[in-house]
Structure 1
Amino acid sequence: MKVKCNDLESIVSHTIEEMKSECKEGHFSLDSVSVSELSRRTGISRSRLRTWKKKGGSFSRKKRSTPPFHIMDGYSSLLDGLLSKGISNSVVCLDYLRHEGFPGSLSTVKEYISDHKDLLPPKHRPVEGLGTRGRRYTTEPGTVFQMDWGFVNVETESGDRLRAACFAMICHHCGECYLEFFPNARQENLFIGMIHAFRFLGVPTYVLTDNMKSVVIGRTLDGQPIWQHDYAQFMQAIGFRTKLCKPRHPYTKGKVERFIRHAKDNLVSGINVNNLNDLNAASREWCNRQNSICHAGCDLPPEEVHSTRCSHTIHPLQEQAELMNYLCPIRRISFDGFITYEGRRFGVPGWYTRSCVRVCREYDTLTIYSEDLQKVLKTYTVTWSRRDSCCMDQFSSKEPEELPTMPVRTVIHLEDRKSFENADFFKKFDFTKEGPEDE
């Protein structure tokens, strides 16, 4: 007679035979078998082995007695087809069956699905035609830098939240990194961050980035990128080219994305700062520590590899006058003599007659230049307060008289008094003369 048993019973029986062979004859008993030792050898959980001992050494479930007419007769083929398509939700399957006239309950469908899980397709199917190995995107030393934006929320010491945009640039070969925070991710801040990063890392041949709107605005019919006009001029002024890749793609731009995630988890999570300048100061110290740590990828600290290998390919940033146009964005003066920069208002001297100025902030010092960058108009020490910052000569001591906005075209002509007295129309208004009822 053939004994029916599943795989678990065969595993347990084989393990018990091994334990029996290890013991001396006459000293082995099934009741004395340790559940912990049996779980360690078979890999089956202790609770399941205890249930196995209670059932007398059987893993089989007690099946319900099946009546001569089973309720699934005539509907099993439909349910098998649903399971072969990967539909294993019992509620969804019951809706399909009810539509065909199935009179059973949800528990019957659940039991059938539990007994026929072998019909379900595997969750992860191998893709045909592709190999099992992939090759990561590698470059020569100093050829490609990666850059990207990230957004963080930092808690200040006063309990407020500081929302900041994190600009990151990293060398693709050695991992030398640069990090800077801005109030937003506008294109003017992108140019400022790239210039600061090029001063720190050097200028590579290519910069690898995703399809951000401040870099590319579309594609041609043959797939070539259409660069944003200001970014195209910026590339020509600095002397580098740009390559585009998919966003959040670890095989091409994964180093800078992993670096931003590492900065969020380590730098931002446990820091308390007062303002954006304190956050940038902390990020500079943190980047210097990261650049001095030995990396497993190159088996050396990134700053050492970058100064020895990558320095032969990169070239230093040329400090030219054209860079000031990107470091000092244009701001328009309001009617009351203020300009707005990074969410705060600063006063402009009243003797400046043009309508636009250029603004540059270096750490805690904000400088306002003339539009042609030939004259320094005003210098402020940034307090990061929301109150307006005024200058002494912003308003003149004698306020000019406000003139009407529209020219006066209405003219009133006054006639001679004698002409009014001689006019017959006004005689009835002469109350000095006595009327007929006064006589």
Structure 2
Amino acid sequence: MLQKEQWMQVHVLKAQGLSLREIARRLGVSRNTVTRYLASQDVPRYKQREPRPSKLDQFQAYILERMQAAWPETIAAPALLRELRALGYEGQLRSIQAFMKAHKPVPAPDPLVRFETEPERQMQCDFVVFRRGADPLYAFTATLGFSRWRWARFATNEKAETLIACHHALFETLGGVPCEILYDNAKTIVLERDAYGKGEHRWHPGLLDLAKRYGFMPRLCQPYRARTKGKVERFHRYLRGNFYVPLSSWLKQSGMVLDVDTANAEVGKWLRDVANQRVHPVTGAPPATLLEERERDTLRSLPAFATQLWVTTPVGRPSAPSAISLQHPLSVYQQLLTEVHA
């Protein structure tokens, strides 16, 4: 069958003065086909062929009934072939297999159940990747389950020491500690799921020590079920679209790349003035308001050692001064960012 492009080529070659024989030779079609397409001013439409009768037609209802009865298990096609042979089927196994594949029941998606928690009960934490390669950029993020209060700290890696430093900064900013924190299954979090039995995991020693010192219980979401920590996952999309993309694109127009120092210098103000002041569509209130009115007083107090920590920005290069990671003098960034906020 000639495609639209071939039909166009017939008309173009004819307009160039080629003979019917030459057009047919170049396109690999018959001269009658060339003549027919030249006579048509639009792409010819072929009528759909009527489906041919199949030896399987009279047994289709039986197959569907057997498939439905076996669901959610799958009945084997050879087993159905034996049953159909007894009923008089004379066709081939592959016909049954093709029919079963085309009519395989589609499981209904799991109902979306929004899991709400009481104040101070749970926080969800995760890393999100913004840039890989020679100049990577990540962010460690947190969302409180009740108030939806958000927090983020940018870094250049996802190492265990960065994870721990981010927790120190998170708890210092929040001024308290939730009862439990929900994580994904990264190696910096858990070394082996269910190592000692169902729900008894072998945690990363750094996280285990951190949880003990601050007094929170680490929890794991189900593998390959990111929506079990959907609150922080939704924050990732919001952080990317409303903070990272606008800021990085503005710097890109000036020939610069957003680095970790600049990102951290700006994200705190954005969290305070934008993300945590925006009315949340589920709670109907700004996260900062719910945190102050309903949740902050219920958080566990910071342990004594935490008030003595000096938390630095986890940029992944602790031996280098933060200023050298800037591609231009700091005044250049400050001027550009002032223009962004103007």
Q: TM-score, normalised by structure 2?
A: 0.58
Higher relative contact order (CA 8 A, sep 6+): 2
1:171: which partner in 2? Answer: 144
Do 1:292 and 1:301's aligned partners in 2 also have CA atoms closer than 8 Å?
A: yes
Specify the SS of the correspondent of 1:252: helix
- The alignment-based identity, stated in percent, is 21
Superposition map of 1:355-374 within 5 A: 366=321
- Partners of 1:253 and 1:237 lie apart in 2 by 24
> Counterpart in 2 of 1:139?
117
Paired position in structure 2 for 1:216: 190
TM-superposed deviation, 1:295: 1.4
Contact 1:168 1:177 in 2 (8 A): yes
Q: Does 1:150 align with 2:128?
A: yes
Return closer, same or farther for 1:322/1:122 CA change in 2, 3 Å cut-off.
same
CA distance in 2 between counterparts of 1:63 and 1:264 reads 50
The correspondence for 1:76, drawn from 55, 65, 68, is 55
Amino acid in structure 1 at the alignment position of 2:260? L
Q: Distance in 2 between matches of 1:293 and 1:241?
A: 29
Deviations 1:135-172 (A, max 9, x none): 32221112111100110039xxxxx9842111000100
- Within 5 Å, give how 1:16-165 maps onto structure 2: 76-77=55-56, 120-121=102-103, 124-126=106-108, 135-153=113-131, 162-165=135-138
What's the CA shift string for 1:267-307, capped at 9, x where partnerless? 11122255311111221122121101111222211101101
Gaps of 5+ in 1: 1-60, 67-71, 87-98, 103-108, 110-116, 155-159, 330-340, 347-365, 367-380, 387-439
Tell me if structure 1 keeps the 8 A contact 2:131–2:138. Answer: no
Find out whether 1:281 has 2:222 as its counterpart. no
Report the number of matched residues.
241
Distance 1:196 1:63, change over 3 A: closer
Q: Distance in 2 between matches of 1:187 and 1:314?
A: 25
TM-score (norm 1): 0.46
CA 1:344 to 1:292, structure 2 compared with 1: closer, same or farther past 3 Å?
closer
Q: Mark the CA change 1:239 to 1:122 in structure 2 (over 3 Å): closer, same or farther.
A: same
Q: Is the 8 A contact 1:199 1:316 kept in 2?
A: no
| SS of alignment partner, residue 230 of structure 1 | helix
Change (3 A) 1:133 1:148: closer
Q: Distance in 2 between matches of 1:207 and 1:147?
A: 7
Structure (1 or 2) with the greater strand fraction: 1
Q: Are the equivalent residues in 1 in contact too, given 2:154–2:263 (CA < 8 A)?
A: yes
Find the aligned partners of 1:313 and 1:245 in 2 and give their Cα distance: 24
1:291 and 2:276 aligned = yes
The correspondence for 2:216, drawn from 204, 227, 240, is 240
Letter in 2 for 1:383: I
Q: How do 1:388-403 residues align onto structure 2 when only pairs under 5 Å count?
A: none
Correspondence for 2:243? 267
- Flag the 1:301–1:240 CA change in 2: closer, same or farther, 3 A: same
Contact 2:130/2:136 (<8 A) preserved: yes
Q: Unaligned 5+ residue runs, structure 2?
A: 1-46, 68-73, 75-90, 252-256, 328-342
Distance 1:261 1:212 in 2: 20
Cα offset for 1:343?
4.6
* Aligned Cα root-mean-square deviation (Å): 4.2
Alpha-carbon deviation of 1:315?
Answer: 2.8
More helix by share: 2
Q: Is 1:302 the equivalent of 2:287?
A: yes
Letter in 2 for 1:303: A
Partner AA of 1:342 in structure 2: G
**Would the alpha carbon gap of residues 125 and 80 (structure 1) be closer, same or farther in structure 2, given more than 3 Å must change?**
farther
Aligned-pair distance for 1:249?
A: 3.2
- Bigger Rg, which one: 1
Letter in 1 for 2:136: R
